[in-house]
Amino acid sequence: KAGVTQTPRYLIKTRGQQVTLSCSPISGHRSVSWYQQTPGQGLQFLFEYFSETQRNKGNFPGRFSGRQFSNSRSEMNVSTLELGDSALYLCASSFLDSFSYEQYFGPGTRLTVT
Amino acid sequence: SQQGEEDPQALSIQEGENATMNCSYKTSINNLQWYRQNSGRGLVHLILIRSNEREKHSGRLRVTLDTSKKSSSLLITASRAADTASYFCATVPTDSWGKLQFGAGTQVVVTP
């Protein structure tokens, strides 16, 4: 089975711009979660989607949004980028949800905001 | 904010030695999971232990869970240079399905 894929792998953007990151989960997985990893704050949960519905949301401003398509692929969008948004963004998929099943992570998208 | 706190923050050992790291958390959980991350790459799931379990083994890994103390430990036996990585514990709180809350991680360096 192919693993979780994320595109692009690296991205450089300027303050004020917006960005869209993409995640393709493992085939058959319906839950997709997004995390932000920074040296200062560590790994923080952004949101989780299951069957095209946002089921959980972390404590991030409304500039961070996401969606999931009928094929379980997911995108996250960050508008009006700030320098502090520079981070590794990780996507993870699981078969049902992280209560019963482990999450499989993609390699991440490294976003640098200048 | 982070749910878990790992201890120690960093650990340096030689090949063949055992590595032990601890994780404490704050709220009631459904399960606790341990992940490994190699140098800024994606996380790899190592082991999941449910709240009604006390100990679990997987290869050279041994995980314990003490829900009364809200703590868990990960033991890596007979460590290898390839075990060099950051190790994170993550909890699934009882009131938040689908939401992993990670600790700050323990950075482990295994020298040949």
pLDDT for residue A1: 67
Res. B111: pLDDT tops 50? yes
Report the alpha-carbon distance of residue B57 to residue B77 in Å, rounded: 11
User: What distance in Å separates residue A16's CA from the closest CA in chain B?
Assistant: 26
Domain edges within chain B? 4-111
Residues B76-90 pLDDT 10s: 999 999 999 999 999
pLDDT for residue A64: 98
| DSSP state letters, B62-101 | EEEEETTTTEEEEEE-S--GGG-EEEEEEEEETT-TT--E
pLDDT for residue B1: 45
Exposed e or buried b per residue across A21-44, where buried means at least 16 C-beta atoms within 10 angstroms of its C-beta? bebbbbeebbbbbbbbbeeeebbb
Average pLDDT over residues A48-67: 93
Higher-confidence residue: A95 or B19? B19
Report the CATH superfamily, name and number, of domain B4-111: Immunoglobulins (2.60.40.10)
What is residue A25's DSSP assignment? P
> Taking CB atoms and an 8 Å cutoff, what residues of chain B touch A43?
2, 88, 90, 102, 105
> Taking CB atoms and an 8 Å cutoff, what residues of chain B touch A110?
40
CA distances from A104 to A3, A24, A34, B107 (A): 8, 11, 11, 21
Question: Least CA distance to B86: which residue of chain A?
Answer: A42
Structure tokens at B72: 């868990």
pLDDT for residue B24: 94
Nearest by CB to residue A103, choosing from B2, B45, B104, is B45
Mean pLDDT of chain B: 91
Q: Is A55 on the interface with B (CB under 8 A)?
A: yes
Instruction: Report the greatest alpha carbon distance in chain A.
Output: 40
CB B23 within 8 A of CB B29: no
pLDDT grade, residue B3 (50/70/90)?
low
Residues B42-81 pLDDT 10s: 899 999 999 999 999 999 999 999 999 999 999 999 999 9
pLDDT grade, residue B97 (50/70/90)?
low
